Amino acid sequence: MNIIAQILIGIIAVLHAYILWLEMFAWESRGPKVFADFERELFPKTKVMAGNQGLYNGFLAGGLVWSLLVADLAWKTNIATYFLICVAIAGAYGAATASRRILYVQTVPAVIALIFVHLV
C-alpha cells in the first residue's frame, strides 16, 4: 500500500478518534460549537445517543489503525478497504439525514483514500 494511502488512512483515523472524543466526552461542552445549527437545549437530552455514536466512530478509527499495523499487504488492503467503505457509507447516511457537511468531512476523504489504497 502506498504512503499516500497510509497517510490518508491515518488522518481519517485521527478524525474519527476526535469524533469519538467529541460525541462521548465533550458533547455538551464542545458539541454546541461544532453543531451550531442544533438547538442548544437538545444536547443534554441527546448525550447518551451521541455517546453511542461516538463509540461507533471509535470502532472505525480502531479498524483504520489496525489496517496500518498489519504487515501482510493483502490483509492490510482488505481491512483498510472494509473500514473506509464503512466510513464512506456512514458519511453518506449522515449527509442525507443530518448535515450535508458530513459528506465532505467523511465520505469524500474515505473515497479518496480508497482510490489511493487500490492504486498499484
Residue 21 confidence (pLDDT): 98
Burial 1-38 (b: 16+ CB within 10 A, else e): beeebbebbeebbebbbbbbebbbeebeeebeeebeee
pLDDT in tens, 63-102: 999 999 999 999 999 999 999 999 999 999 999 998 899 9
What percent of the chain clears pLDDT 90, i.e. is strictly above it? 92
Mean pLDDT value across the chain: 95
* Residue 120: per-residue pLDDT: 64
Tell me the pLDDT band of 6, cut-offs 50, 70 and 90: very high
**Rounded CA gap, 105 and 94, in Å?**
10
pLDDT at 35: 87
